[in-house]
C-alpha cells in the first residue's frame, strides 16, 4: 500500500493537482481552503480522490464562520481570504467542510494511524514546533503506531518511543525556505518529499483575487518564500 499524505493545501490547486507519483490512497490532514485562490477546485479534487480527510482550523472557520485562530501577522490576511473563500463556495462545499471529522484512524498492514490537523490534545489549533518535547505526550495520547499531523507547515518525522510522529509540511503554502510543495509517502515507512510546480500560475490567480492589493502581495510573498509566523 502506497499512501500519499498531504496537509495545508490552502486552496492551491496547481500544487495539489500535480503530485508527481502514483499512489493507492490519498490522505489529507486538513486546511483545504483559505489563503489560496482555488477553494472549489481543491474541494472537488479532494472529495473525488481522497480516501481520508480531516478538518483543519481554516476549514472549520470557513464552514462555521469562526475565527481560525491565526497569529497577528496572519489575522488580516485570513479575514480577507475567508470572506473571498465563502463567496465562491457553493452550499454543498460548505456542508462538506462542516462534516469533515476532526480525527481519523486507519489500520494498514497492521500499522495503526491516527490523523489530525494540529495535535491529539487540540485537533484544530495547537501549534507545536517539530523539535518540541510536547510531542512525547501527544504521541502517548494518540496511542497509535503513527501519528500524522499538519498545521505548522513545517515537515518533520520523529521516532518517539515505539511511535512515529510525522508532519508532511504544507502542500499549498510551504514554509521551508522555497516554494516547493511538500508531502509525504507511506510505504512500509514514512518519507518526506517535495516537488516544484507551476507556482507562477497560482500567483497569477492570487493577483486576480478581489481583495486588497497589499494582502495579495503578502500572500505571494508567503507563497514564494519563508516565513516564521504561526498559521
Q: Sheet of 111-116: strands edge to edge? A: 103-108, 111-116, 146-148, 163-167, 156-160
In terms of CATH, what superfamily is 3-103+167-224? Metallo-dependent phosphatases (3.60.21.10)
Is residue 164 within 8 A of residue 157, CB to CB? The reply is yes
H/E segment holding residue 114: strand 111-116
Q: What is the DSSP letter of 155?
A: -
| Residue pLDDT tens, the chain, 231 long | 999 999 999 999 999 999 999 999 999 999 999 999 999 999 999 999 999 999 999 999 999 999 999 888 788 889 999 999 999 999 999 999 999 999 999 999 999 999 999 999 999 999 999 999 999 999 999 999 999 999 999 999 999 999 999 999 999 998 777 899 999 999 989 999 999 999 999 999 999 999 999 999 999 998 987 543 444
- Whole-angstrom distance, CA of residue 219 vs CA of residue 37: 10
Is residue 191 within 8 A of residue 184, CB to CB? The reply is yes
What is the pLDDT, as a whole number, of residue 226?
A: 56
Closest CA relative to residue 170, chosen from 29, 39, 20, 2: 29
Q: In the Cβ-directed half-sphere of 177, how many Cα atoms lie within 13 Å?
A: 1
Phi/psi region, residue 137 (left: phi>0; alpha: psi -120 to 50; beta: rest), is alpha
What grid cell was written down for 107? 489500520
H/E segment holding residue 148: strand 146-148
Q: What is the DSSP letter of 122?
A: B
Amino acid at each position: 500500500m502506497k499512501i500519499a499524505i498531504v496537509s495545508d493545501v490552502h486552496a492551491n490547486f496547481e500544487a495539489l493537482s500535480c503530485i508527481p507519483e502514483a499512489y493507492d490512497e490519498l490522505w489529507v490532514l486538513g486546511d483545504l481552503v483559505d489563503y489560496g485562490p482555488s477553494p472549489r477546485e481543491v474541494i472537488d479534487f479532494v472529495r473525488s480522490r481522497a480516501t481520508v480527510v480531516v478538518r483543519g482550523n481554516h476549514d472549520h472557520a470557513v464552514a462555521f464562520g469562526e475565527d481560525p485562530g491565526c497569529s497577528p501577522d496572519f489575522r488580516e490576511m485570513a479575514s480577507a481570504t475567508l470572506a473571498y473563500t465563502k463567496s465562491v463556495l457553493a452550499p454543498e462545499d460548505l456542508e462538506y467542510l462542516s462534516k469533515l471529522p476532526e480525527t481519523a484512524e486507519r489500520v494498514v498492514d497492521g500499522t495503526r494511524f491516527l490523523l489530525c490537523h494540529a495535535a491529539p490534545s487540540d485537533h484544530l489549533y495547537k501549534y507545536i514546533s517539530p523539535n518540541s518535547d510536547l510531542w512525547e505526550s501527544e504521541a502517548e495520547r494518540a496511542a497509535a503506531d503513527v501519528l500524522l499531523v499538519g498545521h505548522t507547515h513545517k515537515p518533520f518525522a520523529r521516532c518517539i518511543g515505539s511511535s512515529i510522529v510525522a508532519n508532511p509540511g504544507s502542500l499549498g503554502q510551504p514554509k521551508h525556505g522555497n516554494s516547493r510543495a511538500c508531502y509525504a509517502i507511506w510505504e512500509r515507512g514514512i518519507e518526506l518529499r517535495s516537488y516544484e510546480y507551476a507556482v507562477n500560475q497560482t500567483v497569477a490567480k492570487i493577483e486576480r483575487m478581489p481583495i486588497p492589493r497589499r494582502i495579495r502581495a503578502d500572500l505571494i510573498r508567503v507563497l514564494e518564500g519563508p516565513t516564521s509566523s504561526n498559521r
